[in-house]
Structure formats: C-alpha cells, structure tokens
A and B are shown apart, each in its own frame.
Chain A
Amino acid sequence: MSDSRPSYLAHHFDHLEQQKQSATLGIWLFLITEVMFFGGLFLGYIVYRGLYPEAWHLGSGKLDIALGATNTVVLIFSSLTMALAVRSAQVGNRKGCAHYLLATIILGSMFLGIKAIEYSHKFFPGPDSHYFLIPGKNFSLASPYADQVQIFFSFYFTMTGMHAIHMIIGIGILIWLYVKALKGSYHEHYYNPVEVTGLYWHFVDIVWIFLFPLLYLIGRH
C-alpha cells in the first residue's frame, strides 16, 4: 500500500475516500458550531426586537439599504465563483480553479470595502445623517427610543462585525488556496481543501442572507 500512496494522502488514513469523508464530516460539524455561535446573537436580536419593536424600526431605518443590497448581490456572486472554483477542481481544470478562487477573493474584498464605507458613515455623520450612531457614551439620536436604538446598533455592529471577521478569515484561506491552486495542487483526485473552504464560504454567505433582511429590511414594511 505504501508504495502507491499519493503525496496528498495523509499517513494516518487508509485511503483517499476515508480522508475525503473525514474532511467533509469535519467541516459540516464545524458549520454546526458556527450556527450555534451566530445563533446566540440571533437569539439576543429576537428577544430585544420583541421588547422594543419601535426602536428596531427606527434603527433599521438608519441603515443604508442601497449599500446593503449591493453587498448582498456581491456576496451572492462570490458564492457563484466559489462554486465554480470547486467545480473546476473536480473536473481537473486547474487553471480555472485558480481563476475562480481569485474572483472570489476580489468579490469578498469588495464586500468588505463596501462594509467599511458603511461603517464610516456611522462614525462620521454626513450631510444626510446627523447622528453619531456608534453605541456608547457619544451615541446621539433625537428620539425617545434612543437608548433602545443604541441596543439595536450594538447588535448591528456585533453581528456584522462577527460576519466581517468570518469574511476576513475566509479571504485569508482563499488566498492560501489560490497560491496552491496556481501550482496546480487541486485536481480531480484531490480537491478536499477547495470543497471544504467552499462550504465555509457559502455558510458565511448564508449568514449575510439572514442579516440583511433582519437588519436592513425589517423597518421597511
């Protein structure tokens, strides 16, 4: 057996199938932990929205729906390129895999860029928004619900911040995959890392698909 072992089969596995199945089970378990992680935030969000619906309405109205929607589209496209990267690796298109990974990295970075612009609007209120919307001592909003809107923004920043951290980690992994993909490391016999990262990327995407309506759209009915 040992003479025929390919370099990409780790020593402690008997065969490739076992290695592949382990990686897949592992990432799914990891995604379950991620669901629980974000679940805690969603729970807090739900509890407070139940307590302070008006504040949630007000807070939601202060978010930039155009930027949020653009980001949603960007992220959905990045999921498409990610899926195409996995597909390319599966059919042995090594070059295509690398290119699609690069595209995913670019789209992911675009998302973060737009997010940064959005954050900066809250820090540096412009002509159309007069309020400093970072929770804390300096939070300013002329509303009887200002305190509860502050809680809304605490959740907004914590949720989108946690999501952004996941994006940054994802982009880091993608860059590493891209470097290896350029060398042609992923092909029809071995594409675990690309597939597993793809699942992670889609998960992060789905979290945003939940965040967008809950944060941006909930106040506009």
Chain B
Amino acid sequence: MNLLFDLLPVQATEYAKQVDALYLFILAISAFFTLLFVGLLVGFTLKYRRRTQDERPEPPHEHYTLELVGGAVLLALLMGMFFWGAKLYFKAQRPPADAMEVLVSGKQWMWKLQHPSGKKEINTLHIPLGKAVKLSMTSEDVIHSFFIPAFRVKNDVLPGRYTQVWFKPEQEGTFHLFCAEYCGTEHSRMIGYVRVLSQEAYDRWTMNLGDADETPVQAGGRLFAELGCIACHRPDAGALGPDLTGVFGHEVALSDGTTLIADDNYLRESILNPQAKLVAGYAPIMPTFQGSVNEEQLAQLITYIKSLSN
C-alpha cells in the first residue's frame, strides 16, 4: 500500500467496495464544488480587481433566485448522500443469520478473542475467507473501539453491554486491527492483525493450534450447571425459573405487562440484575450473578443459552 498515491486503502470485503463507491461519489462532488468555488474566487478577483481608488461598484441587487435554486440543488445532492449512506449503514447493522460468532473482549490494552471452536487468541484474529463473521464485543474497563480499516467497519466496545460488527472477508491476507477510541496510556499499542485464511487453513489452524478444551457453548453449559442455574431454569412444570429453551430471539412477556425480544443485552441484564425485567409468572427470587461471573464466563453463558434455541 502506498499512501502517497493510493486514493483508498485495500478493499478486503464487498462492503468495503460499496462504501468506497459512496466515498468516491462524495469526493467527486466535493472536488467539483471546491474547484468551482476556487475558480470563481480567483476569476472574480482577477476580473474585478481594484484598478483605481475612486471605483464605486454598484451595490448588488437583492434577488433570491440564485440562492433558492442553489440551495435546492445542494439539498437534493445531500439527500442522495444521506440515503446512500443510510442504506449501507443498515447493511452494516444487520449481520446475516449464519454468521460465525467470535467473542471479543476489550481490555486496557489488548483484544481478547474467542472462536466458536473455543480457541482463544489475543490481538490477532484468524478468520476464514468468504464466511460472514459476527463479533460480539464488550469491554472489561473503559470504552474501546474495534476498527478494521480494510473492511471499513468500526464500532465502539463498551463496558456493561454488547455491541457488534460483522464482515465477510473476500481477500486473503493480513490487515490492521486498531483500537479507535482513546482508552488510556497505551491506546496506540492496542492494535493487532486480522488474518484472513482459506477455509482449510482456518480449520487447520483451529485444530493444530487449538489449546481449548471446550467450546464457548460447552463452557457455558458447564457453568450453567456449576452455578446452579439448572436447578431453577428447568423445562418441567413447577420449576422456579422460566425454561430457557428457545428463549433467545423470541418474545418474552414481563411481569409489568410489557413484552420484549430476548437478545444478548437482555440475557446479560437478567443474569446481572435479574429483577430488572422479570418474566411474568415468576417470583423475584433469582440472585444477582454480578461479581460471580467474569465477562468471559458471562459471554459463554449467553452463548450457551443461545444454543438452546437452535
């Protein structure tokens, strides 16, 4: 990559190419208006430069046709940009259903990553070519931001909740991974690489270097038993807690009469602050697990509960 001559960085996803098309569109409009403006500025300055001190130019006539037409044309162009940008934004916000989920935890100053296979890594993310990958991200301390320039994706990573980005790499290679939100002393060292491997290479990497004993789902299931969740959250009648099979992604009726769709953040809240949104028909007896599970275990539990829905 040559920064002096390349207009744009490497485009390693289809989405990156789409963003770049929009970028070039705005760039063309900007360049046009800049040149027009500077051209008029120079042209008028030369043509109407002050020749004698006694010159008295006519005061301008107030008429607003130019302003109205100019404003309307501009607004139309701007709305074009808005809708184009919004369309891509929607795309970036909605990962495909079959995306492979990687858990990301930001911490001053490193990225901890865990694959569906259970394999963990730090600061380097290995992903298979041509497969949609969704990152479920949270932070253990301050706000970070997960940024892969080659994929044109970025999202802040916050303590106490989950955010996500997704992408589908279409080029093998090694790409930068940056923390984009200032997070303290070694912010600029909270960087790493994304290595896009062919599917075979990825599988090989997963197995050969796999040092994980269990997958996140397995770990979550183990925790579910160890922490005693299973004692109440049982499928049989008379259980003290609601059965969690099939909960994720579905509507839940709450004790205050409202309903919501159980998502990552709801599950998280229900583990840490169980009475906040109580499921209808159950007594507020569940203790909080704040402090008894760490971020990693929490993510594993949630992954396990999600797996009960499939």
Direct contact of A and B (CB under 8 A): yes
Q: Which residue of A lies closest to B285 (CB)?
A: A144
Give a binary string over B267-310; 1 marks a CB under 8 Å from any A CB, 0 the rest: 00000011110000000100110100000000000000000000
Q: Which residue of B lies closest to A52 (CB)?
A: B276
Residues of A125-147 at the interface with B, using a CB-CB cut-off of 8 Å, are: 144-145, 147
A188 contacts the other chain (CB 8 A): no
Q: Which residue of B lies closest to A51 (CB)?
A: B276
A54 contacts the other chain (CB 8 A): yes
- Looking at the complex, which one of A52, A144, A147, A148 makes contact with B284 (CB distance below 8 Å)? A144
**Which residues of B lie under 8 Å from residue A147 when comparing CB positions?**
273, 290
Residues of A141-175 at the interface with B, using a CB-CB cut-off of 8 Å, are: 144-145, 147-148
Q: Within the assembled complex, what's the spacing in Å between the Cα atoms of A84 and B273?
A: 53
**Which residues of A lie under 8 Å from residue B276 when comparing CB positions?**
52, 54
**Which residues of B lie under 8 Å from residue A145 when comparing CB positions?**
273, 275
Q: Within the assembled complex, what's the spacing in Å between the Cα atoms of A144 and B287?
A: 8
**Which residues of B lie under 8 Å from residue A148 when comparing CB positions?**
273
B184 to chain A, nearest CB (A): 22
**Which residues of B lie under 8 Å from residue A52 when comparing CB positions?**
276
Q: Which residue of A lies closest to B288 (CB)?
A: A144
Q: Within the assembled complex, what's the spacing in Å between the Cα atoms of A54 and B274?
A: 12
A135 to chain B, nearest CB (A): 17
Q: Within the assembled complex, what's the spacing in Å between the Cα atoms of A54 and B276?
A: 8
B305 to chain A, nearest CB (A): 21
**Which residues of B lie under 8 Å from residue A144 when comparing CB positions?**
273-275, 284, 287-288
**Which residues of A lie under 8 Å from residue B290 when comparing CB positions?**
147
Q: Within the assembled complex, what's the spacing in Å between the Cα atoms of A148 and B274?
A: 13
Q: Within the assembled complex, what's the spacing in Å between the Cα atoms of A210 and B274?
A: 32
B151 to chain A, nearest CB (A): 33
**Which residues of A lie under 8 Å from residue B274 when comparing CB positions?**
144
A221 to chain B, nearest CB (A): 14
**Which residues of B lie under 8 Å from residue A54 when comparing CB positions?**
275-276
Q: Which residue of A lies closest to B256 (CB)?
A: A53
Q: Within the assembled complex, what's the spacing in Å between the Cα atoms of A147 and B276?
A: 12
B159 to chain A, nearest CB (A): 14
Give a binary string over B18-36; 1 marks a CB under 8 Å from any A CB, 0 the rest: 0000000000000000000
Q: Within the assembled complex, what's the spacing in Å between the Cα atoms of A141 and B276?
A: 17
Q: Within the assembled complex, what's the spacing in Å between the Cα atoms of A172 and B45?
A: 60
Give a binary string over B53-74; 1 marks a CB under 8 Å from any A CB, 0 the rest: 0000000000000000000000
Q: Within the assembled complex, what's the spacing in Å between the Cα atoms of A52 and B276?
A: 7
B291 to chain A, nearest CB (A): 11
Q: Within the assembled complex, what's the spacing in Å between the Cα atoms of A51 and B122?
A: 34
Q: Within the assembled complex, what's the spacing in Å between the Cα atoms of A207 and B78?
A: 42
Q: Which residue of A lies closest to B269 (CB)?
A: A51
Residues of A14-61 at the interface with B, using a CB-CB cut-off of 8 Å, are: 52, 54
Which of A54, A144, A145, A148 has the largest number of chain B CB atoms within 10 A?
A: A144
Q: Within the assembled complex, what's the spacing in Å between the Cα atoms of A147 and B287?
A: 14
**Which residues of A lie under 8 Å from residue B273 when comparing CB positions?**
144-145, 147-148
Give a binary string over B171-197; 1 marks a CB under 8 Å from any A CB, 0 the rest: 000000000000000000000000000
Residues of B241-277 at the interface with A, using a CB-CB cut-off of 8 Å, are: 273-276
**Which residues of A lie under 8 Å from residue B284 when comparing CB positions?**
144
A158 to chain B, nearest CB (A): 21
Give a binary string over A4-19; 1 marks a CB under 8 Å from any B CB, 0 the rest: 0000000000000000
Q: Within the assembled complex, what's the spacing in Å between the Cα atoms of A75 and B275?
A: 38
Q: Known contacts A54-B275, A144-B275, A144-B284; can you find 11 more A-B pairs with CB under 8 A?
A: A52-B276, A54-B276, A144-B273, A144-B274, A144-B287, A144-B288, A145-B273, A145-B275, A147-B273, A147-B290, A148-B273
Residues of B within 8 A of A (CB): 273-276, 284, 287-288, 290
The 7 closest A-B pairs by CB, nearest first: A144-B275, A144-B288, A54-B275, A145-B275, A144-B274, A52-B276, A144-B273
14 A/B residue pairs, CB under 8 Å, sorted by A = A52-B276, A54-B275, A54-B276, A144-B273, A144-B274, A144-B275, A144-B284, A144-B287, A144-B288, A145-B273, A145-B275, A147-B273, A147-B290, A148-B273
